[in-house]
Structure 1
Amino acid sequence: MKRLSSLETLGLWARSHRWADLRRFPRNEADDVFAGLTIRGRNHIVRLYNWSAGGACIDLPGSAKLGERVHLVCGKLRRHGRVAWLASGRAGVEFDS
């Protein structure tokens, strides 16, 4: 069996804490903020974890699938987009440009 190398031996590009530095837009953290989400013609209230000009991280509403079209509304934030990633009960929404 092949032995995996430790994190210290990996290049900086492979370290998990570096991914935040590779984002195209700065993130705005949200504390106890909720948003309206429309997916498959149904409305949901979801927790908003963070957002940027390019997208948002929200609670996963039911059984969303990658690529599904969504509409997110929170105050003046009103954006259409798609589900870009799913992990640990959360979803990433990539906004349309």
Structure 2
Amino acid sequence: MSSRFILDGAMIPRSEKRTIDERDEPRYAASSSTAVMEFRGRKHVIRLINVSKSGAMVIFPHTPNIGERLTLQLLDRGMVTAQVRWVKDGRIGLSFLTPME
């Protein structure tokens, strides 16, 4: 179930970039520059920025809700279900429901 609130990064202004990376695992440049994502019943070709075992960052022109579930077809990893964690400036942070090996 997705949230009925839309958080798009504009709500919390940030004057400085983060100086500490608090992520638990490394992010890797995507082995393919594109993937196919199903969003509200339609399939879209999206740009991949990076991928880790537990998620990905993508460029997508639409604004999903935080918590919304999406299906992502990755060239080298197959079909994965992901949940939207954040949205900002046309980029979306996705968390995979099942971490990949």
Same fold (TM over 0.5): yes
Report SS of the residue matched to 1:16.
coil
Within the alignment, does 1:87 sit opposite 2:88 as a pair?
yes
| Deviation, structure 1 residue 76 | 2.6
The alignment's TM-score, normalised by the length of structure 2, stands at: 0.71
- Distance in 2 (alpha carbons) for counterparts of 1:76 and 1:27: 15
- What count of residue pairs does the alignment treat as equivalent? 82
Q: Does 1:96 align with 2:97?
A: yes
Provide Cα deviations, 1:8-59, integer angstroms capped at 9, x if missing partner: xxxxxxx71312xx21221001377010001111100000000100100001
Larger Rg: 1
Identity %, equivalent residues: 32
The residue number in structure 1 matching 2:57 is 57
**Which of the pair has the greater relative contact order for Cα pairs under 8 Å at 6+ separation?**
2
Pick the structure with more helix per residue: 1
Structure 2, unaligned runs of 5 or more: 1-15
Distance 1:74 1:32, change over 3 A: closer
- The alignment's C-alpha RMSD in Å is 2.0
Q: Quick one: distance in 2 between partners of 1:87 and 1:63?
A: 9
Q: Is the 8 A contact 1:44 1:61 kept in 2?
A: no
